[in-house]
A and B are shown apart, each in its own frame.
Chain A
Amino acid sequence: MTDTILDIRGLEKTYKGGVKALDGVDLTIKRGEIFALLGPNGAGKTTLIGSVCGMVRPTGGRIEVFGKDLAKHWKQVRRDIGLVPQELSFDMFDKVIRQVRFSRGMFGCEPDDARIEEVLRSLSLWDKRDAQIRALSGGMKRRVMIAKALAHDPQLLFLDEPTAGVDVELRRDMWRQIDALREKGTTIILTTHYIEEAEEMADRVGVISKGRILLVDEKDAIMAKLGRTEAHFTFDAPLPAIPASLGEYPLHLEQGGTCLVYRGGDGTGKGKREVAEIAQVMAREGIVFTGMETRESTLEDIFVDLLHEPEVTA
């Protein structure tokens, strides 16, 4: 069994109005991983998912899923793909259990009430199985969307902004659900606006902007490559200049000399070591600082930086 579950090469999509939503996207997804696709609104995330799942007709490129060409073997391949779209879209007047059974049947699976019960219980929907969907809360409706996508036991699951508009408690609950799916070996590709979600859940992260993939790497590797440490030393009396003994460090003065700022490191711990060294040097030389704050850059900082430097490539 190949390690690659999805392989996208040179994928392009230009809409009728001339908007280029995807501009030569290359992306490889490994079996069993959780991949987070980050990008601002209109970056091409949903178009990319739609191209794999059948809602969008790409204008160029090639998609292979489970080692098969999607264009040729779309029916066989789609049997094992699940999708939870951004919008809550279903027959609101139908009952929960009927909609989940319907999804399972449509994907060619034999009826299996035990499996349906398992899915509904895992999403805390079993007690609501006979309720009309329109009577459910927003969070419950979103769970129904997930239940429908899981009803046919997909190997590859797309979650398009699964936690958009849900409260913090439900979001964390969703993360637990996603984690449980990973445990079972389901490969998950999720798009999100919440960088915290990608930090919490993803094994690898991709950043897409204006239809182009800017970066794809393991989350920890991104933090190591692009992560930074920032430290602020504050003084009661302004420093006239950066002490010569600290010349080798990436430092500068702010706030009229009352704040010495360090920005450096590479995400491997070098930043923290250098901040400790700077503190020791100042203590040794009798430079009295009255406060010290350090902060490691988050994936969000890296994401924002990347979007402002679109020339960075994967």
Chain B
Amino acid sequence: MSFNPTFNARGAFAIFKNELMRMFRTAFGSIASPVITTSLYLVVFGAAIGSRMELPGDVSYGSFIVPGLLMLTLLSESTSNASFGIYMPKFTGAIYELLSAPVGVAETLIGFVGAAAVKSMILAAIIMGTAALIIDYEVVHPFLAFGYILLVSATFSLLGFIIGLWADGFEKLQVVPLLILMPLTFLGGTFYSIEMLPEPWRSVTLVNPVVYLVNGLRWTFLGQSDFPIWVSFGATLLFLLVCVAIIGWIFKTGWRLRE
């Protein structure tokens, strides 16, 4: 039986498949919840409040907030799915199998982070479909939008994986998504253009990294945003590399993994 010790492809696929199956066991809750939430946002903000909002350019408010809402879901779902995926084996003790198997950092990341990112991509497609039923919008750069959604899903799944390794209780799993990511996303231009903010809040907002993520995705949808697209792509890619480096260090040192 052939076994390639350089890269255990079957091992990576087994983890990937196992994680996807685990996520789909709770498919109704994990898909219905973001779909309902997004629909409510679109109805309340897009239809009710949006008509009174004045945006720069001739963009409708409904199509303006779709990328923001998409980013809101991508960040929270990618982070929570990946963190839960690696935390649960730690919690139940099943992590022994991962540690004793011939899988390294590459196989583990492809398995856990890949599955979380794929689930986020599926959710993104469902949300875009749901949004299309409620409002009219178009995606100006569909391939770039796909690439950017993939990049953001992978990056925040990596962040979630780190949180899952770091957490030593369910409370810590929730700290970053609820107390850091959620506020940053709401304050990151999800529902408004930062052009609409008065000084000094406009300058303060620039230190919020989510602003660049939302604007990056908004550019792929609308063809215009508050910042050049390369700034958003570059910042996200840099964050992805930082996450990979941190995970590499965790596996090398065994921090929170091996005794």
The answer on A and B forming one complex is yes
Interface residues of A (CB under 8 A from B): 15, 50, 53-57, 73-76, 78-79, 81, 83, 85, 87, 89-94, 98, 101-110, 148
A159 to chain B, nearest CB (A): 13
Asked whether B170 is an interface residue with its Cβ less than 8 Å from the other chain, the reply is no
In the assembled complex, which residues on chain A have CB atoms less than 8 Å from the CB atom of B101?
78, 106-107
Whether A148 lies near B25 (C-beta < 8 A) is: no
Whether B11 lies near A89 (C-beta < 8 A) is: no
Whether B104 lies near A109 (C-beta < 8 A) is: no
Given known contacts A55-B100, A105-B17, A90 and B92 CB-to-CB distance under 8 angstroms: yes
Binds A, one of B1-9, B51-59, B65-73, B121-129: B1-9
A166 to chain B, nearest CB (A): 18
Residue pairs across A and B with Cβ atoms less than 8 A apart, 28 shown, are: A54-B100, A55-B96, A55-B259, A57-B259, A73-B5, A75-B103, A76-B3, A78-B100, A78-B102, A79-B5, A79-B102, A83-B96, A89-B93, A89-B97, A90-B97, A91-B89, A92-B92, A93-B25, A94-B22, A98-B21, A102-B14, A103-B97, A105-B10, A106-B97, A107-B11, A108-B3, A110-B10, A148-B97
Q: Is the interface of A mostly helix, strand, loop or mixed?
A: loop
A50 to chain B, nearest CB (A): 7
Chain B contributes a number of interface residues (CB within 8 A of A) equal to 33
In the assembled complex, which residues on chain A have CB atoms less than 8 Å from the CB atom of B4?
108
Name the residue of chain B whose CB is nearest to the CB of A93: B25
* Residue in contact with A76 in the complex, picked from B5, B13, B96, B259, CB distance below 8 Å: B5
Whether B98 lies near A106 (C-beta < 8 A) is: yes
Asked whether B49 is an interface residue with its Cβ less than 8 Å from the other chain, the reply is no
In the assembled complex, which residues on chain B have CB atoms less than 8 Å from the CB atom of A109?
1, 3, 10
B66 to chain A, nearest CB (A): 35
The 6 closest A-B pairs by CB, nearest first: A105-B14, A89-B93, A76-B5, A53-B100, A75-B5, A75-B102
Whether B100 lies near A91 (C-beta < 8 A) is: no
A309 to chain B, nearest CB (A): 30
B146 to chain A, nearest CB (A): 29
Whether B11 lies near A53 (C-beta < 8 A) is: no
A80 to chain B, nearest CB (A): 9
Q: Complex: how many Å from CA A85 to CA B14? A: 21
A145 to chain B, nearest CB (A): 10
Asked whether B246 is an interface residue with its Cβ less than 8 Å from the other chain, the reply is no
In the assembled complex, which residues on chain B have CB atoms less than 8 Å from the CB atom of A105?
10-11, 13-14, 17
Whether A108 lies near B259 (C-beta < 8 A) is: no
In the assembled complex, which residues on chain A have CB atoms less than 8 Å from the CB atom of B241?
none
Whether B93 lies near A85 (C-beta < 8 A) is: yes
Q: List CB contacts (< 8 Å) of B208-248 with chain A.
A: none
Asked whether B18 is an interface residue with its Cβ less than 8 Å from the other chain, the reply is yes
Name the residue of chain A whose CB is nearest to the CB of B9: A108
Name the residue of chain A whose CB is nearest to the CB of B14: A105
In the assembled complex, which residues on chain B have CB atoms less than 8 Å from the CB atom of A79?
3, 5, 102
Query: Assuming A78-B101, A89-B94, A106-B10, what are 4 further A-B pairs, CB within 8 angstroms?
Result: A73-B5, A76-B102, A91-B94, A105-B14
Asked whether B132 is an interface residue with its Cβ less than 8 Å from the other chain, the reply is no
In the assembled complex, which residues on chain A have CB atoms less than 8 Å from the CB atom of B15?
106
Q: Complex: how many Å from CA A104 to CA B18? A: 12
Q: Complex: how many Å from CA A79 to CA B14? A: 14
Q: List CB contacts (< 8 Å) of B1-49 with chain A.
A: 1, 3-5, 8, 10-11, 13-15, 17-18, 21-22, 25
In the assembled complex, which residues on chain A have CB atoms less than 8 Å from the CB atom of B97?
83, 89-90, 103, 106, 148
In the assembled complex, which residues on chain A have CB atoms less than 8 Å from the CB atom of B88?
91
Whether A85 lies near B258 (C-beta < 8 A) is: no
* Residue in contact with A89 in the complex, picked from B8, B13, B17, B92, CB distance below 8 Å: B92
In the assembled complex, which residues on chain A have CB atoms less than 8 Å from the CB atom of B175?
none
* Residue in contact with B259 in the complex, picked from A15, A73, A93, A103, CB distance below 8 Å: A15
Interface flags for B170-214 (1: CB within 8 Å of A; 0: not) read: 000000000000000000000000000000000000000000000
In the assembled complex, which residues on chain B have CB atoms less than 8 Å from the CB atom of A89?
92-97
Asked whether B254 is an interface residue with its Cβ less than 8 Å from the other chain, the reply is yes
In the assembled complex, which residues on chain B have CB atoms less than 8 Å from the CB atom of A55?
96, 99-100, 258-259
Q: Complex: how many Å from CA A73 to CA B104? A: 12
Q: Complex: how many Å from CA A218 to CA B100? A: 29
In the assembled complex, which residues on chain B have CB atoms less than 8 Å from the CB atom of A76?
3, 5, 102
Whether A50 lies near B259 (C-beta < 8 A) is: yes
In the assembled complex, which residues on chain B have CB atoms less than 8 Å from the CB atom of A101?
14
B24 to chain A, nearest CB (A): 12
Given known contacts A105-B13, A109-B10, A87 and B259 CB-to-CB distance under 8 angstroms: no
Q: Complex: how many Å from CA A85 to CA B93? A: 10
Most central of B1, B104, B254 by chain A CB within 10 Å: B1
Q: Complex: how many Å from CA A50 to CA B99? A: 10
In the assembled complex, which residues on chain A have CB atoms less than 8 Å from the CB atom of B18?
91, 98, 102
